A and B are shown apart, each in its own frame.
Chain A
Amino acid sequence: MSVIADEIVSFSSVLRMAYNMLNGRNYLKRKKFREKEKLVAITLPFSDLAFAAGTVPVFPIRMHQFEISQYLNYLGSASSIFGWNAVSKFLSFIKNQGIEKVSKIVGDIIEDVIDTINVKYNQMYDLGIETGISSDFCYGLKSLVGMHVSKGQNVDACLNVTIRCSAYNKYLESLKSINEGPKQIWIDIPPRNLGNTIELLTDNVSNALNEFEKLTGNNVTDNDLRAHFKIGNQVKKSYKNIIYDISASDFYPCNPATFSEIMALLSITFQDYNSDAARYRDNIVSLEKEMRERIRKGIGMDVSKMPRIFVTPMFGGWEPKSHEIIYELGGRALYADWELLKFLEEIPTSPNTNPSEEYARFLMRATETGIGCDNDKLTDSYLRMAKNLNAEGLIFFQLFGCHSISNCYSMLREKVRRELEIPTTAITFNKIGENVEQVKTRLGAFMEMFK
């Protein structure tokens, strides 16, 4: 794992993202109490309206104190004086000097970022079950309930966007029972695009914006929406570039396990942009630059002989050791859930457009051609993504209790065999760390096919 740590240290943008993710609690406290801003709980990448309305979107787990954040707080303080790049170079220097104690601390910080998040996820999972949600539900849902039970009272509102997963929609309804205080703002995305559906969805978006206006007391203008969409588009552009230009290429700016770790961090933080869209945009743009710069200089790793293994879905819960195991077995794990689900589509921002309508179109596209209204459409999305990544293998995480995005493996396997002719396997997942040995065995057998 120290290899992973070594690599990440030289990406200062990753360090910043990790810091912003783990230090969310302090940042959000400042926003709420000192700057009197409104916190809005969001799940999945639905933060756009909250940003445009001038509120602070937060994926609820970020309101927690993370064990590692004390170290990162120190780094954060140092960075505010010396700048992040200087801190990053300093960390690399320390590690290269082999100063063991300091080096270990530095290694721990980076190594623990994803682990720390996942430990917290597991705590939220346990809390969800303790609260009374049946253990039959998927990892993601149980964790989300835990997050709202523990920290949901701190938010001023919850932005609830319906999707085709009925358990998720009921979870959204249950939020007002978990915490009575927060305002519930709803956007109902119709299941299909029939007749004037876009008009209806546009009206739903406008109604949600009215609710935001009531929450903040401020008007939300078309320009506010466009301004945020522009930032969001830049984020999405860089994210897509990283997925297509870099993760699918034959030379990586770091080792593949590190690369996957970065992609996992992006996947988690993309949901609420670490509560600051402009800062997140700056970080992801600079991450792309740093990656390209390293590749240009030939720093990194030739991965042309390592099969591209598309690992999906992972946003609702997956075994985070997978990419490391795949790397050890000679492959590289590619993560691209948000692109698969069409959340990386840009939103038109020209002055002659109606931004609420454009947002409605964005939501409808994600519904129709991303997650899809049925498993036939959804499996097409998995297939399309595997094809676009030029994947040589597909590992499908079948979440225990998921009835929506990961229960379609039989149909997917059939399509993959027929249309892509690449090896595929399913791994059952219930909780992080629960079945690592079994995952190892399955992945070992799977990777044998590439030898």
Chain B
Amino acid sequence: MDDLNLLSDFSLFLKEKKQQGVKIVAYLAHDNIPEELLDAAGFFPLRMIFGGNDDLMDASHDFLPPSTCAFAQSCIGLFSTKPNAFRFLELVDYFIVSNHCVSDVCVSEIISKYFNIPRLNFYVPYTMNKNSLKYFKLELQDFRNQLEAIVNRKVSDEDLHNSIVKFNNFKKKLLEINELEMSGSEKLKIIHKSMLFGPDFLHDLESLIQKFKDTPQPVPNTSKDVLLTGCSIFINDNMIDLIEEGGGNIVFFDTWIGNHYYSQIVESNLIDINKDPLDLLVLRFKNNIYGDHSVPDFLKQKVSVIQKYSDSYTKSKGRKLGVINHIIKFCDHISLMSSFLKDTLQEKGIQVLNLERDYSRANRGQLSTRIEAYLEMMK
């Protein structure tokens, strides 16, 4: 119900944007899209952060085989079936084809081609080194050119700087969520809303965070704290309910929709108006060491961040932290590395549950059993 309200509010918000003449650019919400460039050019960045269900997945099979990532399938399904709550997708003016993973490419391409939404291209290098950073800058420049061609004006460095500062401040505020005492589901609601509305939500976000700081809502000691890694829990997905019903509580979202997004902060002293703003976006990409797109150090960084958080948690709380590695079925990145991640973390004494699922209703019972068994084991 909460999610439906959120979608309804968002729908009104987006309509207002359209009435103001703002163009909507949608994309599969990976963590390397330069939303600051979109903002500076006067577009509204719409992240596809919506979970799926059987109907949405089935609807995608006209375009891609069923052995495609369930999230990707559902994104196609949303455009194909146009459920009432997602009517706002009809307002999308452009769709970005990007390569967070190959399913991102294929699905974005299909949405653009078959649902007649003009396409923008933004590709990301696969590795993270000196040359790939230079390549990333080429892509940024190309993306800027594409946007400028649409709006028929130059996107000034000043506007871009302002957008970078705006998103940077927004993320800094979001980062405070990690420290709040509240249930994981409440945190996730705030994260979802923030990432959907973007910096327009900053004022409300500040009030919400202040409210929870003033009146913390500690989670009962009986629940088991876990870190969520792997795939995100998207809007309209009941995964967090299953975890909480099973006696767990997510204290840290090490996912796209979570820390990956708001930890990409550029230090204020580096934001110099006299410098090329694209270099700041390159720096943001360089700092995105937790994302799952890049090779070859994804696993190393992932293990490092989880171990660090887990050690710090155990030290401060005096108990162990669980790790749920959420794997959306057929996800290339998370699924392929899952056994290596589990083995490596377990060698370090961190218990991991590799929880693979798609969005079908049928597996709800099985997922609950697995979550409960894992949390039981954490005693």
**Interface set of A (CB-CB < 8 Å, partner B):** 131-134, 136-137, 141, 160, 162, 164-167, 169-174, 176-177, 184, 186, 188-192, 194-197, 200-201, 203-204, 207, 373-376, 398, 400-404, 407-411, 428
Number of interface residues of B (CB under 8 A): 52
Whether A133 touches B339, Cβ cut-off 8 Å, given contacts A197-B138, A407-B65, is yes
Cross-interface CB contact of B139 among A133, A176, A194, A374, cutoff 8 Å = A194
A-B contact pairs, 27 of them (CB 8 A): A134-B335, A134-B338, A137-B335, A164-B99, A166-B103, A170-B336, A188-B126, A188-B127, A188-B129, A191-B126, A194-B138, A195-B138, A204-B131, A207-B131, A374-B97, A400-B67, A403-B69, A403-B103, A404-B102, A407-B64, A407-B65, A407-B67, A407-B68, A408-B106, A409-B65, A411-B110, A411-B113
**Can you add 20 more A-B contacts, CB < 8 Å, to A166-B102, A195-B142, A401-B330?**
A132-B340, A134-B335, A136-B67, A164-B102, A167-B336, A169-B295, A170-B298, A174-B340, A184-B296, A188-B129, A188-B132, A190-B132, A190-B135, A192-B121, A201-B131, A401-B67, A407-B65, A410-B64, A411-B63, A428-B65
| Beta-carbon contact of A191 and B339 below 8 Å | no
Contacts A177-B340, A186-B296, A194-B139 known; A373 to B123 CB distance under 8 Å? yes
A177, B126: Cβ atoms closer than 8 Å: no
Q: Does B47 contact A (CB under 8 A)?
A: no
B218 to chain A, nearest CB (A): 38
Residues of A within 8 A of B103 (CB): 166, 403
Residue in A closest to B69 when the chains form the complex, CB atoms: A403
When distances are taken between beta carbons in the complex, the residues of chain A under 8 Å from B113 are 376, 411
A192 to B63, CA, bound (A): 25
Assess whether A194 is in contact with B142, with CB atoms less than 8 Å apart: yes
Option from B141, B333, B344 in Cβ contact (under 8 Å) with A195: B141
Checking B105, B135, B293, B344 against A373 with a beta-carbon cut-off of 8 angstroms, the contacting residue is B105
B275 at the interface (CB under 8 A from A): no
Docked Cα-Cα span, A129 to B110, in Å, equals: 31
Contact B336 A174, beta carbon cutoff 8 Å: yes
Most buried by A among B63, B125, B138, B296: B296
CB distance from B294 to the nearest CB of A (A): 9
- In the bound complex, residues from chain B placing their C-beta under 8 Å from that of A191 are 99, 123-126
B2, CB-defined interface residue at 8 Å: no
Count: A-B pairs, CB below 8 Å:
148
Q: Choose among A134, A162, A195, A207 the residue with the greatest number of B CB atoms under 10 Å from its CB.
A: A134
Q: Does B109 contact A (CB under 8 A)?
A: yes
**A197 lies within 8 A of B135 (CB):** yes
Q: Look across to chain A and name the residue whose beta carbon is closest to the beta carbon of B145.
A: A194
Whether the pair B125, A190 counts as a contact (CB closer than 8 A) is: yes
B172 CB, min distance to chain A CBs, angstroms: 30
Complex: chain A residue closest to B64, CB-CB: A407
Least Cβ–Cβ distance between A417 and chain B, in angstroms = 15
B296 in contact with A200 (CB, 8 Å): no
B residues 101-116 in Cβ contact with A at 8 Å: 101-103, 105-106, 109-110, 113
Query: Which residues of the other chain, A, contact B101 by a CB distance below 8 angstroms?
Result: 166, 403
Residue pair A170, B337 in contact (C-beta under 8 Å): yes
Chain B residues within an 8 Å CB radius of A192: 121, 123, 139
Assembled-state Cα–Cα distance A400/B138 (Å): 35
Q: List chain A residues, Cβ under 8 A from B15.
A: none
In the bound complex, how far is the Cα of B121 from the Cα of A172, in angstroms? 26
Q: How far is the CB of A160 from chain B (nearest CB, A)?
A: 7
Contact of B295 among A134, A170, A194 (CB under 8 A): A170
- Nearest chain B residue, comparing its CB with the CB of A401: B67
Q: For the complex of A and B, list the 5 residue pairs with the smallest distance between their C-beta atoms, beginning with the closest.
A: A132-B339, A166-B101, A191-B123, A167-B332, A162-B126
Which A residues lie within 8 Å of B296 (CB)?
A: 160, 172-173, 176, 184, 186
State whether the Cβ of B356 lies closer than 8 Å to any Cβ in chain A. yes
Most buried by B among A169, A170, A407: A170
Picked from B106, B123, B134, B344, the residue with its CB within 8 Å of the CB of A407 is B106
B69 partner residues in chain A, CB cutoff 8 A: 403
B62 proximal to A (CB < 8 A): yes
Inter-chain contact A133/B127, CB cutoff 8 Å: no
Q: Which residue of A lies closest to B133 (CB)?
A: A200
Most buried by B among A131, A160, A191, A201: A191
The answer to whether A398 and B102 have CB atoms under 8 Å apart is no
Partner of B336, one of A137, A404, A410: A137
When the two chains form their complex, are residues A170 and B333 in contact, meaning their CB atoms are under 8 A apart? Answer: yes
B134 close to A200 (CB less than 8 A):
yes
A178's nearest neighbour on chain B, judged by CB, is B340
In the complex, what residue of chain B is closest to A171 when comparing beta carbons?
A: B336
Q: Does B299 reach chain A (CB closer than 8 Å)?
A: yes
Chain A contacts for B121, CB-based, 8 A: 192
Chain B positions within 8 Å of A197 at CB level: 135, 138
Q: Which of B62, B127, B339, B343 contacts A186 (CB 8 A)?
A: B127
Q: Is B284 an interface residue when CB atoms closer than 8 A count as contact?
A: no
A189 to B123, CA, bound (A): 12
Is there contact, CB below 8 Å, between A200 and B135?
A: yes
Contacts of B138 in A (CB 8 A): 194-197
Interface status of B260 (Cβ within 8 A of chain A): no
How far, in whole Å, are A27 and B124 apart by their CA atoms in the complex? 41
Chain B, Cβ-Cβ closest to A194: B138
Q: B370 near A: Cβ within 8 Å?
A: no
Across-interface contacts of B109 in A (CB, < 8 A): 374-376
A contact residues around B68 at 8 Å (CB): 403, 407
Within the assembled complex, what's the spacing in Å between the Cα atoms of A174 and B69? 20
Distance in angstroms from A395 CB to nearest chain B CB is: 16
Residues from chain A with a CB closer than 8 A to the CB of B141 are 194-195
* In the complex, B329 has a CB within 8 A of chain A: yes
* B106 with A173: CB separation less than 8 A: no
Which residue in chain A gives the minimum CB-CB distance to B98? A191
**Distance between A373 CB and nearest chain B CB, rounded to angstroms:** 6
A134 to B327, CA, bound (A): 11
Query: What are the residues of chain A within 8 A of B63 when measuring CB–CB?
Result: 410-411
A146 smallest CB distance to B (angstroms): 14
Q: Determine the chain B residues whose CB is within 8 A of the CB of A137 once the complex forms.
A: 335-336
- Residue pair B105, A136 in contact (C-beta under 8 Å): no
